[in-house]
Amino acid sequence: MKKSRQQIAKLYEKTCYFCPENNYKLLDVHRILEGKDGGTYNPMNTVVICCKCHRKVHAGIIKIFRKHLSTSGKWVLHYIDEDGQEQWK
């Protein structure tokens, strides 16, 4: 059976972007630009996070702005963390 993009992302990332959770069953693939706004499941628009952090994102506790590809070829996420600090990681 063919794996979905979300399953592949979870298998590749293996850990929540914001915390050390690494239980595959608790990981979600969050679309930065929501589906209702035209966001798709692609590497530029998704981040693997656990269900607890996913709830924080949807509650506005963690705010994700954008994902960038750095000159070194690594993804960099622009977001505001739980403490209100702007991050580029």
Residue 84: domain span = 5-88
- pLDDT of 2 above 90: no
Q: How many domains does the chain have?
A: 1
Q: Any idea what the CATH number is for the domain that residue 77 is in?
A: 1.10.30
Could you report the per-residue pLDDT of 17-64, keeping only the tens digit for each? 999 999 999 999 999 999 999 999 888 999 999 999 999 999 999 999
3-class secondary-structure state, position 89: coil
Instruction: Give pLDDT tens digits for 68-86.
Output: 998 998 889 999 999 999 9
Cα separations in angstroms, 29 against 58, 73, 84: 13, 21, 23
